[in-house]
Amino acid sequence: MKRHDQPGQLILELIDGLGINYAFERSFRVSGNALLGNRFLLAIKKTRIAEAKRQGEIIGICRQMGMPDEFLEAFIENLPEADTVDFGFEENKRNYFYKVYLDFLSKWKKEVAGTPGECDPFVMFFGYKWDSRDPGKRALTKYVWYPSISFERIKENISEIFQGQKHLEPMQIAKDLMDMVSKKTTHDNIYYLDVTEENSPRRSFDINLYKAGLQLKQLYPLLARTVRHYSISTEAFHALYNPIRTKAFGHLSGGISRTEKDFLTVYYGLDEIVKNQ
């Protein structure tokens, strides 16, 4: 594992070292008196790396990030079928987490080619996540995509995940957002993922909403409700929000964490970083 004084910077340097274009997306997570704003994802398409060294380059980055051996073995096995690899980072109050995701969109397209009507749920991502300081703290996350799911079914799923009176406000915030989005675009432009982890009580969702064409500032009333629910100070929220308020709103994720606390996460501002014209 390569050591770095700034763990998040390590990922940026490793991906920059490939000399290829990549996508960059930030996010913030709100849960239990905590506002976590130092989170990001970098996505690379495998085809942008020369085929002869593609496998070695990607696996080499995972090794330098300190991916646990158990994960590395599974990652190597699944890598050939993936189109895109996402490298993620999250800083919380006590530690830093690294994350690597495999995206299987092309595999899905091959499986449903020529299939009429609605498609069955499909495992679209695997997420390999670990504590950079203690890799024994790790989680394998599975993301199941529901193609062409209706807005009403999404809201039903949100209600099932946020069960119980104490989770009522984040549930309602997420459902109110779906009502807003339904006025901006159709359900087939929305990508809903059901999220679970092995040996964990985590149950959550991730909804890609970029095609709704919203900016974060249009979500301000919902965001204000969110930070109020989680007892985040107005000053702390606006220090994060004000510089990014005109960024494109991308995803909402939320649910019950592996520590059995509810949370909401907002992804925004997906950008293409150009390294190779």
Lowest mean pLDDT among 21-25, 173-177, 198-202: 198-202
Residues 251/206, Cβ–Cβ less than 8 Å: yes
Report CA-CA distances (Å) from 51 to 46, 47, 56, 215, 230. 8, 7, 10, 38, 47
Residue 277 has what pLDDT?
56
The answer to whether residue 116 scores a pLDDT higher than 70 is no
Residue 185 has what pLDDT?
97
| Residue range 207-229, pLDDT digits in tens | 999 999 999 999 999 999 999 99
Domain assignment of residue 37, yes or no: yes
Distance CA 82, CA 128 (A): 14
Give φ, ψ of 22 to 5 degrees: -150, 160
Domain assignment of residue 131, yes or no: yes
| Run of H or E including 175 | helix 168-182
> How many structural domains is the chain composed of?
1
Residue 144 has what pLDDT?
97
Residue 106 has what pLDDT?
86
Going by the DSSP 8-state scheme, the letter that residue 1 receives in this structure is -
Domain assignment of residue 92, yes or no: yes
Distance CA 138, CA 142 (A): 13
Residue 31 has what pLDDT?
95
The answer to whether residue 25 scores a pLDDT higher than 70 is yes
| Run of H or E including 131 | strand 122-131
| Residue range 60-102, pLDDT digits in tens | 999 999 999 999 999 999 999 999 999 999 998 888 999 999 9
Domain assignment of residue 268, yes or no: yes
Q: Give the residue-averaged pLDDT of 95-112.
A: 90
Residue 199 has what pLDDT?
84
Domain range for 200: 7-273
Residues 167/256, Cβ–Cβ less than 8 Å: yes
* Token digits of residue 157: 């799923």
Domain assignment of residue 1, yes or no: no
- The answer, as to whether pTM is greater than 0.75, is yes
* Token digits of residue 118: 């609605």
Domain assignment of residue 2, yes or no: no
Residues 254/263, Cβ–Cβ less than 8 Å: yes
Domain assignment of residue 260, yes or no: yes
Distance CA 194, CA 179 (A): 19
Residue 16 has what pLDDT?
93
